[in-house]
Amino acid sequence: MISKNTIDTVFETARVEEVIGDFVQLKRAGSNLKGLSPFSNEKSPSFMVSPVKQIWKDFSSGKGGNAVAFLMEHEHFSYPEAIRYLANKYNIEIEETEQTDEQKEQANEKESMYLVSEFAQKYFHNTLLNTDTGKAIGYSYFKERGFTAETIKKFGLGYSPDVWDAFTKEALGKGYKEEYLEKTGLTIVKEDGRHLDRFRGRVIFPIQSMSGRTLGFGGRILGNDKKTAKYLNSPESEIYHKSKVLYGIYYAKQAIAKQDNCYLVEGYTDVIQLHQAGIENVVSSSGTALTPDQIRLINRLTKNITVLFDGDAAGLRASIRGIDLILEEGMNVKVCTFPEGEDPDSFAKNNTHEEVVAYLDNNAKDFIQFKASLLVDEAKNDPIKKAGLISDMVKSISKIPNVIQREVYIQECSRIMDISEQVLSSSLAQFLQKDIADANKKLKQEQKAKTLQPVEQATNQTRESINIQDVLERKIIEILLLYGSTLQEFEDVYIKYDEFGKEYEETERKEYKVYERIYLNLQEDEIEFTNPVFKDLYKAIIEYYLAEQELNVDTFLNNLPQELQAVATDIYMQDEKYYLHEWEEKKQIPVKEKTMAVASYATEHIIDLRWLLLGKLVQDLKQQVSPEADNMELLMAVNDYNMLINYLSRKISRIRSTFY
């Protein structure tokens, strides 16, 4: 187990904006940072990070917490894995304490698969560097490709011996279970129980997540056997979904965010060679067709993609289909092709860093120019082919969500293809209408499916009512978290009687910290929270205040259980969400700042809670009244409580109806 000292050091060192900045492109929004949600597909930012409070909140999914919580949600880390990741990021030495056998058994299936994959990566890399066969075959291949020793080490490249079960034997001997070797696809288990290494006789490219976790592998065969696939990837598993992974994203993410552009290539070696040439903002779809999930992964870091193609015209036509997907996500696309016979790998290998950068800058074309230059030669003087080309270009433009960008591209298309804007706009409108019709049809189908749900379920949902006590308890928690240490003047009103027995009120004012006032009031009335989450959170807040007098958000949240941390984060960040939409800058609507009238706000909600509980108590007492019994004592109690309710009404200078 990781020692408490290490955990404390990690929490003190880690900065939430730096951790999340590795995964999401963040922009300034007041005193906070905002970005696109990494948990949902959205066009407008609903994800907010508070560097001051060291917390984050995703308003689209409701998730929130500190840096550790983000890693647990986004990367599906366990708590220890998140701590280890942060310790590695900030170069913190990890102190270990001995784990019990029971604790070792508690690792879930995904974690076990990650452990197997990490072992495999180390095994393949060690085999490449430290065995005669690995050096003679695998290492020599990578050196021939032009990879330096530093690059080979950085990308964790490896080699799997051309032996039936060399890796599997080693893994089983180290205590890794056959079940997880098979589920990760590293081992093929035959019907007769024999084991086969999936990647035997191949050089290995580890495939990593954005956080650096080993998800799977790509293996390239070195022989010329035409019956065997040149490249082989790990099969789909609980931890590896090829449609959601980009090769090289772990090494490219910071450069992508910094340079606000991502180069997209096809293969593993393209990524590695460009990276070695100093072009680090590059990723690959690993030979698979580009998917929306892969595009969204880039979209978190930048809005700009430059697709790099080799000079093969047939390959270009097949690949440009991915451009429409990029446009649909509201991203900006450029395309750069290399000279015939060259690809990103060979070009980066044969040219200096400066030459590669200059070539990319000078030859990257807007997608409209690229499509026109690619297909116009084919159309030439054939009107039908030219009409088809123009239609294809307009269809791509129709995928762009931004109206102004569509208009600009229509103008550019008109200029390039020598056709009127009016005709193009008319064609664009037809595509847009079709998209709207398709969307409406899909919506109707979804709505129809919902109406087929059991009527009883719908009825139950409409009958659900707001739990008023939960609302009030949450409000008190909110006041404690946001204003608990604020010094305020509170007013107490006492009922007194003069010498003639006439009732009058006497007011006394006294300063308290808000948490002291709430704590004393609730103690005095012996009020306890009924919602278990709010009850535990209230206890944790009061204990912290009593010990520290001031509430340090970062320290307080880091020591809360995950369930309580999520609730507290949600409360903290609710006031900040208006900055997401830039109300002040764009809509000229000032965001209302927190005022200092906390005393009346806190008093009002405490009275509301007391009022609610008294109402419930009166109702309970009334139900105990029986026509056959002496109810005098019960009726006197009801009368006393009703008088207290009337007093509370006067205390806040208003009369309200009871909740029941």
Average pLDDT of 606-634? 70
Same domain assignment for residues 305 and 279: yes
446-464 pLDDT, tens digit per residue, is 666 655 554 444 444 433 4
Average pLDDT of 28-43? 86
pLDDT of 157 reads: 98
Task: Identify the bridge partners of residue 306 per DSSP, sorted by sequence position.
Answer: 263, 334
Same domain assignment for residues 87 and 118: no
**DSSP string for residues in 120-136:** HHHHHHHHHHHSHHIII
pLDDT of 458 reads: 42
pLDDT of 104 reads: 54
pLDDT of 628 reads: 67
What token pair was written down for 453? 């749900």
Q: Kindly state the percentage of the chain with pLDDT values over 70.
A: 80
Residue 484 lies in a domain: yes
Same domain assignment for residues 645 and 548: yes
What token pair was written down for 495? 């009922």
Same domain assignment for residues 207 and 286: no
166: pLDDT confidence band, cut at 50, 70 and 90? very high
335-365 pLDDT, tens digit per residue, is 998 988 899 999 999 999 999 999 999 999 9
What CATH number is given to the structural domain containing 79?
3.90.580.10
Least reliable range by pLDDT among 197-201, 309-313, 320-324, 583-587: 583-587
Average pLDDT of 357-381? 81
Residue 285 lies in a domain: yes
Same domain assignment for residues 197 and 301: no
- Domain span at 223: 108-240
Residue 353 lies in a domain: yes
What CATH number is given to the structural domain containing 178?
3.90.980.10
Q: Kindly state the percentage of the chain with pLDDT values over 90.
A: 32
| Beta strands across the sheet bearing 214-221 | 158-160, 202-208, 214-221, 231-233
Average pLDDT of 139-155? 96
53-63 pLDDT, tens digit per residue, is 888 988 888 88
Same domain assignment for residues 287 and 302: yes
Half-sphere exposure of residue 12: CA atoms within 13 angstroms, side-chain side: 7
Residue 501 and residue 562 in contact, taking contact as beta carbons nearer than 8 Å: no
Least reliable range by pLDDT among 150-159, 392-401, 455-464: 455-464
Which residues make Cβ contacts (< 8 Å) with residue 292, sequence separation at least 6? 41, 325, 328, 329
548-585 pLDDT, tens digit per residue, is 888 888 788 888 887 888 888 888 887 666 555 554 44
Residue 443 lies in a domain: no
Residue 437 lies in a domain: no
Q: Higher confidence at residue 528 or residue 282?
A: 282
Residue 272 lies in a domain: yes
pLDDT of 116 reads: 96
pLDDT of 336 reads: 92
103: pLDDT confidence band, cut at 50, 70 and 90? low
Whether the pLDDT of residue 492 is over 80: the answer is no
pLDDT of 376 reads: 67
Q: Higher confidence at residue 644 or residue 601?
A: 601
Where does a domain end: 101, 124, 153?
101
What token pair was written down for 243? 């449609």
Residue 279 lies in a domain: yes
Q: What are phi and psi of 92, to 5 degrees?
A: -100, 125
Average pLDDT of 377-389? 76
Where does a domain end: 203, 220, 240?
240
Same domain assignment for residues 83 and 177: no
Same domain assignment for residues 262 and 410: yes
What CATH number is given to the structural domain containing 307?
3.40.1360.10
Same domain assignment for residues 513 and 655: yes
Where does a domain end: 203, 223, 240?
240
User: Which is nearest to 267 in space by CA: 241, 287, 297, 249?
Assistant: 287
Same domain assignment for residues 151 and 255: no
Average pLDDT of 393-403? 86
Q: Higher confidence at residue 459 or residue 238?
A: 238
Q: Higher confidence at residue 102 or residue 633?
A: 633
Same domain assignment for residues 186 and 266: no
pLDDT of 105 reads: 55
Whether the pLDDT of residue 287 is over 70: the answer is no
Averaged pLDDT score across all residues of the chain: 82
Whether the pLDDT of residue 1 is over 80: the answer is no
Residue 449 lies in a domain: no
Same domain assignment for residues 172 and 195: yes
647: pLDDT confidence band, cut at 50, 70 and 90? low
Number of independent structural domains in the chain = 4
Which amino acid makes up residue 353? H
